[in-house]
């Protein structure tokens, strides 16, 4: 079923590139509503924000895991899903929704979180859309129990389907999610390597317009170095692709105070501007409490855009080894098999790629990251990853539950304490003091 011809106008990557050339950071929400009217209002509000924006349709959880019967039942019952069921909604309704929203300068990206996005990709193409995101590793290990080998095959087929849609006036766009693995406590070198490897996978299966993700972590200087490493490796490994870097606002435990949340949003925007990234995925002040409203999303987009204005790109950076570590991981995977999909599966089976705190059966689980003094992320254990000559490991490689909780709440605590809300450690100290 082909509901619509490809929508005319600029492709997703071209729109982002045009804004970047004009010195504008593109800001984008993570937004998805089951109700078509609310989804339309959200997209129109995003388009009308006082910022350079692109739109988002985030898919619901039933569609993400391929339970289309449950998605249809929920729609029939009028249930409030946590995203837009693109595959199973009435196609006439979806076509009308997009017809009133998408313009040549306002493309929409479909976000989904699926280890098997084949039907989602076919559906978005049927509706004239051409931009989505994810990856065979990044949308399998954290979000699915599917074997990695199956996810790799699903993503190979999805890339090829998306690539077949290329035409004289249409360039499909695919964004890696590899730079966001687990949201937090993953040392940046692994995030950079996974982002590059997924982008290479997309390129080898026909995608020519790519974006590479990196999620804001716990230390601004370290993030700047990581993004610079990502950009250098993109130039080395996918030199012929049309590319840009997308920064994700912090994905871990979020500040609870409005002031703390706004400052963290602003810091993510400044990170994007300082590093020359083209696009930013923006969180909201509601992040720690509930799903945001449309108005809260727009406020956050405008706040991020304002924070990025006038920020100069950084010059020379220090080198703590992120580039060397990421390159070692990429080169090792490439040495395992000429087929990159098989190489990824082999690397994880041998523990040569190993995501800290990830419980998927295909992840070795021997590597650990930790929060060092000053907020930098570093390796506590590297497992079987080929980093032994590049990493100085701490003498004490234990991590207690209190250590983990403290690290998970580091950003929340750091930003909330500026705005009068004590962090959990401060509360504990006060409570213990009152008992003595």
Distances in Å between the Cα of 195 and the Cα atoms of 35, 114, 126, 273 are 33, 17, 28, 20
Statement: residue 131 has pLDDT above 50: yes
Q: Are 344 and 136 in contact (CB under 8 A)?
A: yes
Instruction: Tell me the C-alpha distance between 50 and 60, whole Å.
Output: 28
Provide the whole-model pTM: 0.93
What are the Cα distances from residue 288, in Å, to 42, 49, 66, 257?
A: 21, 23, 28, 9
C-alpha dist (Å) from residue 70 to 65, 82, 127:
10, 13, 22
Do 19 and 52 meet the contact criterion of CB atoms below 8 Å apart?
yes
Range list of H helices, 100-145: 118-126
CA–CA dist 36, 59 (Å, integer): 12
How many whole angstroms separate alpha carbon 431 and alpha carbon 349? Answer: 46
What is the four-CA torsion angle of 73, 76, 79, 85, rounded to 10 degrees? 70
pLDDT at residue 49, rounded to an integer:
98
Which CATH number belongs to the domain containing residue 219 in this structure?
Answer: 3.20.20.240
Q: What does the alpha-carbon distance between residue 42 and residue 39 come to, in Å, rounded to a whole number? A: 5
Residue with tokens 């019967």: 69
Q: Judge whether 196 and 330 are in contact, CB under 8 Å.
A: yes
Q: What is the pLDDT of residue 182?
A: 85
- Structural domain count of the chain: 1
pLDDT tens track for 81-103:
999 999 999 999 999 999 989 99
For the segment 236-250, what is each residue's pLDDT rounded down to a tens digit? 999 999 999 999 999
Euclidean distance between CA atoms 198 and 138, whole angstroms: 8
d(CA 416, CA 216): 17
Look at residue 431 in the predicted model and tell me its pLDDT. 36
Question: Tell me, what's the pLDDT at 402?
Answer: 87
Crossing angle of helices 91-99 and 36-48, in 10° steps, is 20
| Cα-based distances in Å from 393 to 332, 367, 388, 397 | 20, 11, 9, 8
Residue 334 has pLDDT above 90, yes or no: yes
Paired sense of beta strands 367-371 and 242-248, if any = unpaired
Do the strands 377-382 and 52-53 form a parallel or antiparallel pair, or are they unpaired?
unpaired
Share of the chain above pLDDT 70, in %: 94
Q: What's the domain range around 138?
A: 1-436
For the cut 60, the answer to whether the pLDDT of residue 60 exceeds it is yes
Over residues 108-122, the pLDDT tens digits come to 999 999 999 999 999
Inform me whether the pLDDT recorded for 5 exceeds 70: no
Nearest to 327 by CA among 138, 193, 419, 417: 193
Which position has the higher pLDDT, 253 or 155?
Answer: 155
Kindly report the average pLDDT of the chain as a whole number: 92
pLDDT, tens digit (0-9, with 9 covering 90-100), for 150-202:
999 999 999 999 999 999 888 999 999 999 998 789 999 999 999 999 999 99
């Amino acid at each position: 079923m082909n509901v619509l011809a490809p929508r005319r106008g600029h492709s997703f990557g071209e729109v982002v590139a045009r804004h970047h050339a004009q010195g504008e950071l593109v800001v984008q929400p993570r937004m998805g509503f089951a109700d078509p009217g609310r989804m339309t209002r959200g997209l129109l509000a995003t388009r009308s924000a006082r910022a350079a924006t692109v739109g988002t349709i985030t898919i619901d959880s039933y569609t993400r895991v391929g339970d289309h019967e449950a998605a249809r039942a929920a729609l029939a019952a009028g249930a409030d899903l946590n995203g837009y069921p693109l595959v199973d909604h009435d196609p006439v309704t979806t076509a009308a929704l997009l017809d009133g929203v998408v313009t040549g300068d306002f493309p929409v990206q479909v976000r989904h979180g699926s280890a098997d996005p084949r039907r989602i990709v076919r559906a978005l193409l049927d509706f004239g859309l051409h931009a989505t995101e994810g990856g065979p590793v990044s949308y399998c290990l954290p979000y699915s129990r599917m074997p990695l080998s199956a996810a790799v095959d699903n993503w190979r087929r999805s890339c090829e389907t998306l690539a077949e849609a290329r035409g004289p006036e249409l360039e499909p766009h695919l964004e890696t999610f590899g730079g966001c693995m687990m949201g937090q406590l993953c040392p940046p070198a692994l995030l950079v390597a996974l982002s590059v490897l997924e982008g290479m996978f997309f390129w080898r299966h026909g995608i020519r317009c790519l974006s590479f993700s990196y999620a804001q972590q716990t230390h601004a200087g370290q993030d700047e170095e990581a993004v610079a490493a990502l950009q250098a490796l993109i130039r080395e490994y996918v030199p012929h692709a049309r590319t840009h870097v997308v920064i994700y606002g912090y994905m871990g435990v979020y500040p609870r105070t409005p002031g703390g949340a706004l400052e963290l949003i602003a810091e993510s925007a400044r990170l994007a501007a300082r590093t020359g990234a083209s696009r930013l995925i923006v969180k909201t002040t509601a992040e720690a409490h509930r799903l945001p409203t449309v108005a809260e999303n727009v406020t956050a987009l405008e706040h991020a855009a304002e924070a990025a204005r006038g920020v100069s790109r950084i010059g020379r950076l220090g080198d703590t080894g992120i580039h060397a570590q990421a390159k070692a991981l990429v080169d090792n995977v490439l040495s395992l098999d000429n087929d990159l999909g098989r190489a990824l599966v082999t690397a994880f089976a041998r523990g040569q790629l190993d995501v800290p705190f990830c419980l998927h059966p295909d992840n070795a689980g021997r590597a650990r990251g930790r929060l060092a003094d000053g907020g930098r992320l570093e390796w506590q254990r590297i497992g079987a990853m080929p980093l032994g000559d590049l990493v100085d490991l701490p003498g004490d490689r234990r991590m207690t539950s209190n250590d983990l909780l403290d690290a998970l709440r580091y950003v929340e605590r750091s930003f909330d304490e500026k705005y009068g809300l004590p962090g959990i450690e401060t509360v504990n100290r006060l409570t213990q003091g009152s008992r003595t």
